[in-house]
A and B are shown apart, each in its own frame.
Chain A
């Protein structure tokens, strides 16, 4: 056999392997997507649906107070620039992560809040998963409740969506699992008694009964990465933001539920 056909065969094999990647073949058809809300018990649904039963609303009340609290050297509150969040923040969380010019890459809602705190309010950033960050991000995201997830069509986001997709399909950890193997290929089946969800980030930050608190999408991603027995990234790592961006793109058009309740 001459060298040339062998090389051609190798190229063909690589092309076939590329075509069989789960990202291309396994993505859930748009009309088959469902929120994990559908899989919850009647009691948990009732808890989410009633604003006086939903424990996420306690944090939303804290967030509402933070929205109008003056902070930092500027002596300004969020409301001083953005006015009534019910109008100015409607639909905002539904299109994050979004491209940020100063960062030169997409930033998620939490990072965007901290950019405003540092650059505009001249104040210290909130730590990830701190009570204040969860409260303020929950308050902002709740203004998008019922709105369709609408990722920006900014072409600068495309390479980051691709990075997020690649991470979602990357087999990793001691279990050698990818996100897609559960959430694209085996959703609806059971893992340790729980229904495997499709992993659409429709309600973040969520109140998770297991956590007994509100938590961000990054906390949830860390949860799964630990479950794969892989190494987590630090909070705020670009890998997480790329995954958040891909997941929001994957859930485009689905309704926001913040603050969602999950078991």
Chain B
């Protein structure tokens, strides 16, 4: 099953407002350190990077490592500058790629 994402971006904001953005994505974040019940190492399978762009400009990015729990929840703030699209991109091991976006109207 494809990854699921849940995005919380305010639909409307006043120009100059500080807005909170919340993102949640389904991912097992397998550390690569655990062994299965026959003793074999379970291969690492994690999200390694997250990027948020606001009308194409990167406003937030993060590197993720093994210590991040499953289903990473990333939340941050930005200033509402103009109407448009806030886009999210997660990439990871084994070619993992997931994208999502949300529209915002700034008045």
**Residues of A that sit less than 8 Å from B by CB:** 47, 50-53, 55, 57-59, 61-62, 65, 131, 209, 212-213
Contacts of A58 in B (CB 8 A): 4, 6, 24-26, 71
> Given A52-B6, A53-B8, A58-B4, are A209 and B73 neighbors across the interface (CB < 8 Å)?
no
Residue from the list A53, A62, A212 in contact with B1, Cβ < 8 A: A62
Closest A residue to B8 by beta carbon equals A52
Across the interface, do A50 and B4 meet the contact criterion of CB distance under 8 Å? no
**Residues of B that sit less than 8 Å from A by CB:** 1, 4, 6-8, 22, 24-26, 29, 69-71, 73
Across the interface, do A55 and B73 meet the contact criterion of CB distance under 8 Å? yes
18 contacts between A and B (CB under 8 A): A51-B6, A52-B7, A52-B8, A53-B8, A53-B73, A55-B26, A55-B71, A55-B73, A58-B4, A58-B24, A58-B25, A62-B1, A62-B4, A131-B1, A212-B29, A212-B69, A212-B71, A213-B70
* Complex CA–CA separation, A212 to B66 (angstroms): 13
Contacts of A51 in B (CB 8 A): 6
Across the interface, do A52 and B24 meet the contact criterion of CB distance under 8 Å? yes
Contacts of A213 in B (CB 8 A): 70
Q: How many A-B residue pairs have CB under 8 A?
A: 40
Contacts of B22 in A (CB 8 A): 50, 52-53
CB of B34, distance to nearest CB on chain A (Å): 12
Contacts of B8 in A (CB 8 A): 50, 52-53
Contacts of A53 in B (CB 8 A): 6, 8, 22, 24, 73
Closest A residue to B3 by beta carbon equals A58
Residue from the list B7, B29, B69 in contact with A209, Cβ < 8 A: B69
* Complex CA–CA separation, A57 to B26 (angstroms): 10
CB of B7, distance to nearest CB on chain A (Å): 7
CB of A107, distance to nearest CB on chain B (Å): 26
Contacts of A55 in B (CB 8 A): 24, 26, 71, 73
Contacts of B73 in A (CB 8 A): 47, 53, 55
* Complex CA–CA separation, A213 to B29 (angstroms): 11
Closest A residue to B70 by beta carbon equals A212
* Complex CA–CA separation, A59 to B26 (angstroms): 8
Contacts of B25 in A (CB 8 A): 58
Contacts of A212 in B (CB 8 A): 29, 69-71
* Complex CA–CA separation, A220 to B71 (angstroms): 20
Contacts of B26 in A (CB 8 A): 55, 58-59, 62
